[in-house]
Amino acid sequence: MTDRSREAVARLLAPAGVAIGGGRAWDIQVHDDRLYARLLSGGSLALGESYMDGWWDCAALDELTRRILEAGLERRVPGLRSVLWLALKARLTNRQAKRRAYNIGRRHYDLGNDLFQAMLDKRMNYSCAYWKDAGGLDQAQEAKLELCCRKLGLEPGLSVLDIGCGWGAFAKYAAERHGVRVTGITVSSEQAALGRELCEGLPVRIELQDYRGLSGRYDRVLSVGMIEHVGYKNYRTYMEIVDRVLADDGLFLLQTIGSNLSGRNGEPWMDKYIFPDGMLPGPARLTRAAEGLFVLEDWHNFGPDYDRTLMAWKSNFDARWEGLSRNGGYDERFRRMWTYYLLTCAGSFRARRNQLWQLVFSKRGVRGGYRSPR
């Protein structure tokens, strides 16, 4: 059975130019022969879990992922039970309902501020950087923050709402550089605590709050890397809330990872280990949710920049792993899980399977037209 299973896996990998035991960086090295049957029955979930278990290795997981996705191998692998189960749950339940709003905070963003401080740029941006004219991660993340400020047309005295503010990177930058007042919300208690500390002395307020409890009125609204946790059943509610709190002459900037197709659920391994209840919006779902509420002024795709961002995070993670392991209690299984997360995501952007979008909306259309910075 092992020989037949190995041959079946080898045949699946061949169209991607990937070999078992080969000498290229993207070839897989198998340490446990039980892997083959496990992959054939368990699909993508088994692929990630067996890597975490140390059953196989690959010198360039990012390139392996790119090749698998570009060859469309994920559509040919048996073991769709986990995918079908996720899809069924997504249809029958609202996995991102208000009662579950803080799950993602507890299970991902509260993992430890030490982990994210070690991995991210000095301002702690946990979203795609903008590499157009940047020489390093810190510069690229500042360029992204400035791009957001320019697209929103920030001026001193304006009030800004940041939905999903993280550790307050945008809030701090916008308050310091553009003289605005910022209210940020997050579902992570660790983010809120450190964000308040980092923004101390500035006109910034950071609250532990779900977006469905928002009230008030703001000149500008920003949301970076948060709608990936909203879920397709809640997109319209999300847009209606933004409409309610945004001034009539205001602008709304939405940054999100996007999928080429509109699905109903996330990838099984990512859902189980990294972003529970997460899903990437497709373009049709976003425009449908905004229809009748907003004018879409601009749609900017710089998805390849996320590949470079993720590789920079992986470099930082590797360079500081010894300290994280010694002082933070992160074990070898966590290292393999986090490595798999960062590199497979990088490969998905390199394959252009995932995108990174910035959308700018107005409520009634910008008089004379909107001119978007790039």
Q: Annotated active-site positions, please? A: 345
Residue 356: C-alpha distances to residues 21, 72, 129, 337 (Å): 34, 21, 10, 23
Q: How far is the C-alpha of 284 from the C-alpha of 178, rounded, in Å?
A: 34
User: In terms of Cα–Cα distance, which of 358, 333, 325 is closest to 258?
Assistant: 358
* DSSP 8-state code for residue 295: E
* 191 Cβ neighbours under 8 A, 6+ residues apart: 105, 109, 110, 113, 165, 166, 167, 168
Q: DSSP per residue over 342-370, as a string?
A: HHHHHHHHHTTSEEEEEEEEESS--TT--
Residue type at position 117? Q
Parallel, antiparallel or unpaired: strands 204-208 and 181-186: parallel
Contact 290, 296 (CB under 8 A): yes
Residue 218: C-alpha distances to residues 160, 162, 174, 221 (Å): 6, 10, 15, 7
Contact 249, 365 (CB under 8 A): no
Q: How far is the C-alpha of 346 from the C-alpha of 351, rounded, in Å?
A: 9
What residue spans of the chain are helical by DSSP H?
Answer: 2-13, 35-52, 61-70, 81-92, 103-104, 113-119, 137-152, 169-178, 189-198, 235-245, 268-273, 283-290, 304-319, 321-328, 332-350
Grouping H, G, I as helix, E, B as strand and the rest as coil, residue 140 is helix
